Amino acid sequence: MSYVEVPGAQVPIRMWTDPAGVEDVAMQQLRNVATLPWIKGLAVMPDVHYGKGATVGSVIAMRGAVCPAAVGVDIGCGMSAVKTSLTANDLPGDLSRFRSKIEQAIPVGRGMHDDPVDLGRLHGFPTSGWEDFWARFGGVAEAVRFRQERATKQMGSLGSGNHFIEFCLDDDGAVWLMLHSGSRNIGKELAEFHMGQAQKLPHNQGLIDRDLAVFIADTPQMAAYRNDLFWAQEYAKYNRAVMMALFQDVVRKEFKKARPVFEPVISCHHNYVAEERYDGMDLLVTRKGAIRAGSGEFGIIPGSMGTGSYIVKGLGNAASFQSASHGAGRKMSRNAAKKRFSTRDLMEQTRGVECRKDSGVIDEIPGAYKPIEKVMEQQRDLVEVVAHLKQVVCVKG
């Protein structure tokens, strides 16, 4: 489909979904965003749903301002995927041991490594810029600097909630590795600190929603936020890279006889800010639950823990600020999912997938998400499909 345009106070709201199907609270969030005096455009992806602070599945383009709540608390959250030389014929009938090995190598949830990961033992891992990256931690907000030890130990670990590590097959039977994580606790701490700072600023006192507080260009507060934001986005990128290297090491050991080879890694953020130019204007484009889909650029759009995912290439649609959805998107809250579904439902909906099937992950049950096929259909003018993947192993945080 092409987009539907809904009137907004400052700019029209371009929606790649039926507005009637969007929750009232999410629509109100979008209308609130469209009142911001700095806004130059608002695009809404087909996986749109209510989010804390700002709507998930929204692309907000502003001139001279950025809203930290529109990035979210998991700065730089995103996906990585890599195709391997393994095929379905290389896999054992029982993948439970393999899942255990992944869980042993990569801490999940609030966990962390006992010691920072030794990058020297990771096969072919590029370490250039590593020391400079950590040296720049000394320049982030003083309020969170005491978290450095935890940040170093959480590098290369999986978040909780909807974060995951998956072992997948494409439609031709080729094996892919895929994972979803972000900037861990340090990103959350930085995000919450700056949200609090923004809400105190005088120019934000008259906003329709205090969660939409912004930093304005050429101010000390904006400079401080940009510094910490871009550092956290880099942390998230490194975190996924270290995790993928650890994942590949497990695969090499468990499938030693097959001598697996890995293609280049595809990686993309979906909670972040980028400096981009549209209609002759330099804009700060915030994607919360959306990926960049520039012409020919690879992206990853996952479903839920029991459904398919997609590797895509962007079509560079300027109307969406060259963006696409970041996944299937929730159709019910976590609490609603826990009330509606049982572990029996979870086992049925994840049949054929080696994964947790206990009450602790019921909120991530496939039935709590929108159908990924419908989401993909609604954004045919944003991306083209390169590969369709189906997980056979899923590790949840």
Give the residue numbers annotated as catalytic, written as ranges.
Answer: 326
DSSP states of 179-211: EEE-SHHHHHHHHHHHHHHHHTSGGGTT-S-GG
Q: Is 112 annotated as a binding residue?
A: no
Residue 312 DSSP symbol: E
The answer to whether 309 is a known ligand-binding residue is yes
Q: 256 a known binding residue?
A: no
270 known member of a binding site: yes
Residue 194 in marked binding region: no
Q: Confirm if 26 and 48 have CB atoms less than 8 A apart.
A: yes
Question: What CA–CA distances, in Å, run from 213 to 38, 66, 67, 73, 331?
Answer: 11, 9, 6, 14, 27
d(CA 138, CA 375): 42
165 is known to lie in a ligand binding site = yes
Structure tokens at 330: 């929730």
Q: Is 60 annotated as a binding residue?
A: no
CA atoms within 13 A on the CB side of 355: 33
User: Is residue 157 marked as binding?
Assistant: no
**Residue 271, annotated ligand binder?**
yes
- 113 in a known ligand binding site: no
DSSP secondary structure letters along 56-96: EEEEEEESSEE-GGGT-SSTT-EEEEEEEEEEGGGS-S--H
Strand, helix or coil for residue 363: helix
Q: Please check if 388 is assigned to a binding site.
A: no
In degrees and rounded to multiples of 5, residue 27 shows phi and psi of -60, -40
327 is in an annotated binding site: yes
Stated as kind and residue range, the H or E segment containing 377 is helix 372-377
Stated length of the chain: 397
Question: Is 298 annotated to bind ligand?
Answer: no
Q: Quick check: 215 and 141 in contact, CB under 8 A? A: no
204 assigned to a ligand binding site: no
Q: For residue 328, say whether it is annotated as part of any ligand binding site.
A: yes
Report the binding-site residues: 74, 162-166, 180, 270-271, 302-305, 309, 326-329, 396
Extract the annotated binding site for GMP. Answer: 162-166, 270-271, 302-305, 309, 326-329, 396
Q: Which residues are annotated as a binding site for Mn(2+)?
A: 74, 163, 180, 270
